[in-house]
Amino acid sequence: SAPGTPSASNITDTSVALSWTAATDDKGIKNYDVLRDGAKVATVTGTTYTNTGLTAGTDYSYTVQARDTADQTGPVSGARAVRTTGGGGGPGPGSAGKLGYFTEWGVYQRNYHVKNLVTSGSASKITHINYAFGNVSGGRCTIGDAYADYDKAYTADQAVDGVADTWDQPLRGNFNQLRKLKAQHPHIKVLWSFGGWTWSGGFGQAAANPAAFAQSCYDLVEDPRWADVFDGIDLDWEYPNACGLSCDTSGPAAFKNLMQAMRAKFGTNNLVTAAVTADASSGGKIDAADYGGAAQYLNWYNVMTYDFFGAWAAQGPTAPHSPLTSYPGIPQAGFNSAEAIAKFKAKGVPSAKLLLGIGFYGRGWTGVTQATPGGTATGPAPGTYEQGIEDYKVLKSSCPATGTIAGTAYAKCGSNWWSYDTPATVNSKMSWAKSQGLGGAFFWEFSGDTTNGELVGAINSGLN
DSSP string, 23-38: P--TT-EEEEEEEETT
Beta strand pairing call for 97-103 and 271-276: unpaired
The Cα–Cα gap between 32 and 49 comes to 10
Q: Under DSSP, is residue 190 helix (H, G, I), strand (E, B) or coil? A: strand
**Beta-ladder partners of 408:** 405
Give me the amino acid identity at 334. Answer: G
Which helix (H) or strand (E) segment holds residue 399: the answer is none
In angstroms, the CA 188 to CA 392 distance is 24
| Rounded Cα distance, 417 and 365, in Å | 5
**For the range 256-259, what are the long-range contacts, defined as Cβ-Cβ under 8 Å and sequence gap of 24 or more?**
256/289, 256/290, 256/293, 256/294, 256/297, 257/207, 257/210, 258/203, 258/206, 258/207, 258/210, 258/213, 258/214, 259/235, 259/294, 259/297, 259/298
Identify whether 339 is a catalytic site residue: no
pTM: 0.81
Alpha carbons 185 and 183: distance in angstroms, whole number:
6
Let me know: does 37 contact 72? Beta carbons within 8 Å: no
Residues 103-162 pLDDT 10s: 999 999 999 999 999 999 999 999 999 999 999 999 999 999 999 999 999 999 999 999
Successive 10-residue mean pLDDT values, the chain, 464 residues: 91 89 92 91 94 82 91 90 64 68 97 98 96 98 98 97 95 98 94 98 97 98 96 97 96 97 95 97 97 96 98 97 97 97 96 96 98 98 97 98 98 98 98 95 98 97 92
Of residues 104, 238, 445, 454, which has the active-site annotation?
238
DSSP code at position 247: B
Residue pair 174/219 in contact by the 8 Å Cβ criterion = no
Ordered by where they begin, the domains of the chain are: 7-83 (2.60.40.10), 97-358+425-463 (3.20.20.80)
Report H helices in 97-245.
Answer: 114-119, 146, 173-184, 196-199, 203-207, 210-221
- Over residues 70-116, the pLDDT tens digits come to 889 999 999 888 878 765 444 543 447 999 999 999 999 999 999 99
